[in-house]
Amino acid sequence: MKRNKVIHKKFKANNAFFDDIISSFDIKGEPFGNQDRNSLKLFNLDKKLINVKSFRIPNIVNQIAYRFFRKSKAQRSYEYANKLKALHIGTPEPIAFYEYKTPFLFKKSYYISEQIDCDLTYRELTTDFNYPDHENILRAFSRFTFDLHEKGIHFLDHSPGNTLIKKTDKGYIFYLVDLNRMEFKPLDFETRIKNFSKLTIHKSMVDVMSDEYAKCAGEDYSKIFNLMWKEIEAFQNRYHRKRRLKKKLKFWKK
């Protein structure tokens, strides 16, 4: 099986270390987070904690697509992280990616990045409305999202678990993770507001985000709130429709 790897120039001296943890990934490292879809493990590199994400082997159609026509999730994660860093957007430091391919099929891939010691994710804001400084964090997050949009960054997986939040003496720092689905292009108004649709189902949070985004964009609050709520409802309808369909399919398979 052919191996392809790219290691950031700052970490070239650790080449042998990365080769070892990837080749022995199944037996080394500390499991971290949700392991349902992809496997995440933590490793110590000198005084730095690093995160290795092992993407599951795609279905046969995507094995062909990733082999010949599309960049892998690991490669996209690495390249997009470097783009974000260049645009001064927070994301864990990109370190390397590895890919394994046969002559006709794509198999495993791995993305290596810095592990961020965060205080919370956006998800906590959706479940604990008494979280200290809740509204100010939400407003800072809305300004962060506006900055993404101004810089032409369309984060397609802008969802509750994909923004890490760190509190500092100067305020809050936000880090994007799960980066393999992004677009870099100028964003129109509707696309910007639709980008909030996966984040929350709570009107009180939509009210705050709409208010802060309106201040940043110089737009009317009601215009933003109404469109944001409409997009959230549309996303929820699609989401629950898919879940009902999956349940029916599982029933018939039984």
Q: Which residues lie below 8 Å from residue 52, measured CB to CB, with a gap of 6+?
A: 21, 22, 25, 29, 40, 41, 42, 43, 110, 111, 112
Per-residue confidence (pLDDT) for residue 78, from 0 to 100: 98
pLDDT in tens, 58-97: 999 999 999 999 999 999 999 999 999 999 999 999 999 9
206: which 2 tokens? 């939509």
Please name each of the domains of the chain with its CATH number: 2-114 (3.30.200), 120-241 (1.10.510)
Q: Is the pLDDT of residue 240 over 90?
A: no
pLDDT in tens, 149-199: 999 999 999 999 999 999 999 899 999 999 999 999 999 999 999 999 999
Q: Say whether pTM exceeds 0.85.
A: yes
